[in-house]
């Protein structure tokens, strides 16, 4: 996807190449530049009413906190890098965040690389950043990597803790066409 600040020069291949590979390129309203979304990621779109606390930066930092706490459960030391959005392990991004707000309601969200095929990131300059790489939980932990379902459960739990919400599962459409 290409966010509002996305630049086509951060797409490192021709769009025709993407089409041949069956990869779509979509312009979206979220913040940020270009990123990849695909199998092996947990993608979450927190829809929150920010009317009481109109602080978009706090929202983004809180989502980073959620994801840092989740990967810490698996022994991975995630961090922020000053001036950059997302969650990092060393100099490699493990989670991208691209959110938007309309009428103080948040939409879009985050993508955490769990067992993502990182080869797809070779076709882009992720988030428009030259000197950093990407990684995944599976790349770091190998065969000890948690399942997508375990990571989803932990994100829900940590989201409740960080945001102070009582969480309950709703309808699940995982792996189903809507």
Smallest CA-to-CA distance from 21 within 11, 33, 29, 31 is with 11
Q: What is the torsional sign of CA 39, 42, 48, 53?
A: negative
Residues near 162 by Cβ (< 8 Å), separated by ≥ 6?
A: 62, 65, 66, 69
177 is a catalytic site residue: no
The answer to whether residues 21 and 115 touch, using CB atoms and an 8 Å cutoff, is: no
Q: Considering the candidates 87, 127, 134, 151, report the single residue annotated as catalytic.
A: 127
Q: What angle do CA 28, 29, 35 make, to 5 degrees?
A: 50
Tokens of 99: 């959110």
List residues with catalytic annotation.
127
């Amino acid at each position: 996807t290409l966010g509002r600040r996305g630049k086509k020069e951060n797409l490192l291949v021709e769009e025709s190449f993407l089409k041949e590979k069956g990869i779509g390129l979509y312009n979206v309203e979220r913040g940020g530049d270009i990123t990849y979304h695909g199998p092996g990621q947990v993608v979450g779109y927190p829809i929150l009413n920010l009317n009481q606390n109109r602080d978009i930066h706090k929202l983004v930092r809180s989502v980073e906190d959620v994801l840092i706490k989740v990967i810490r459960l698996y022994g991975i030391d995630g961090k922020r890098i000053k001036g950059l959005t997302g969650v990092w392990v060393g100099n490699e991004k493990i989670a991208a965040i691209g959110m938007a707000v309309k009428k103080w309601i948040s939409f879009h969200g985050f993508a955490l690389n769990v067992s993502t095929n990182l080869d797809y990131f070779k076709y882009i300059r992720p988030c428009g950043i030259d000197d950093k790489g990407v990684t995944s939980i599976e790349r770091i932990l190998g065969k000890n990597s948690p399942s997508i379902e375990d990571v989803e459960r932990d994100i829900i739990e940590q989201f409740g803790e960080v945001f102070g919400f009582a969480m309950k599962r709703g309808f699940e459409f995982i792996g189903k066409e809507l």
